[in-house]
Amino acid sequence: QVQLVESGGGLVQAGGSLRLSCAASRRTFSDYSMGWFRQAPGKEREFVAALSWSGATTYYANSVKGRFTISRDNAKNTVYLQMNSLKPEDTAVYYCARFRYSGSYHEGSVADWGQGTQVTVSS
């Protein structure tokens, strides 16, 4: 099991930016594909972004494509989510995730979850 700890959430005005970080506990972090999901109040958790173990391949939900960037620093066991041009509809709890298998980036493929960090975008 890998422990994941998110940070960087907060309150921001529409059009602003935030960067989320997710620190992993294991040195084998670089073996795994990682990603981010989010859950807005009253809604189901949804996929946001994922990237391969090397960081060479990335995937995004259509709703965030062009505004969010996922990246990783394997030397620091950390994955990031840079969020630009934020909208009120991006308000949610954001969860870091470790995937069991490379290339399978749905919720059922998540092996470990972080505790979540709140992002609130005001209009």
Per-residue pLDDT at 26: 74
| Nearest of 110, 114, 111 to residue 1 by alpha carbon | 111
Q: What is the CA radius of gyration of the chain?
A: 13
Question: Average of pLDDT values for 74-85?
Answer: 95
Task: Report the C-alpha gap between 76 and 116 in whole angstroms.
Answer: 20
- The total number of residues written for the chain in this structure: 123
β-strand pairing of 58-60 with 110-113: unpaired
CB 35 within 8 A of CB 97: yes
Between 2 and 17, whose confidence is greater? 17
β-strand pairing of 18-24 with 4-7: antiparallel
Check whether 12 has a pLDDT greater than 70: yes
Per-residue pLDDT at 27: 67
Question: Average of pLDDT values for 62-87?
Answer: 96
